[in-house]
Chain A
């Protein structure tokens, strides 16, 4: 069955960087676009970024553009999210999600990894 498992979260100091990972299994990873979505504590969902199945096309929310990079390694069935210059407002549960089939639907979600920004 389709499974995506996030990791890499934890307590990170403001201004530092963190790289989140999302390990995929149960499907042909290289055939699907992948998304990152985040949710600050007690808040709603915020779409962060999407990467095409081949890693060529990447799109970002305006709120994170320039500080966040989405990438993937299809040989390792793994999706990444690099967050630089961490700010308090980056504190959130970060979810990765596999596209359903058309490139515009977040169909399968992981359980998320929590990033806490604190000195």
Chain B
């Protein structure tokens, strides 16, 4: 199972919006609405911020939103804040009943 493809890094200024893409195949991202996104600050455990492509867990800011088109899912963060600076990972359920992560994206808030 190959890792999902994410950009290595993205950046944005406070208040701006950024989008992180996550590209897989029809056997994972494209085949199921089971894409999740995780935020990880240095030295901390990952935190779920989006699940089932578009849903936010309770307590997660509505500045975070998710979408999907074909084999590519996307995470958008609007109104960028300094605290959003972190690593972001996508994950998808697969046709083998396993899961696969993306390689991760480092978000820098300028």
Contact = CB atoms under 8 A, between A and B. Distances in A.
Contacts of A108: 48
B47 A105 contact: no
Given A46-B101, A59-B96, A61-B1, A105 B34 contact: yes
Interface in B87-106: 87, 89, 91, 93, 96-104
**Interface of A (DSSP majority class):** strand
18 contacts: A37-B46, A44-B87, A44-B89, A45-B38, A45-B46, A45-B104, A47-B91, A47-B100, A50-B98, A61-B98, A62-B1, A95-B46, A102-B52, A104-B32, A104-B52, A105-B52, A107-B57, A109-B45
A109 B38 CA distance: 11
Interface string B24-46: 00000000101010101000011
A61 B99 CA distance: 8
Interface of B: 1, 3, 32, 34, 36, 38, 40, 45-48, 51-52, 57, 87, 89, 91, 93, 96-104
B45 A95 contact: yes
A66 to B, nearest CB: 14
Interface of A: 35, 37, 44-47, 50, 59-62, 95, 100, 102, 104-112
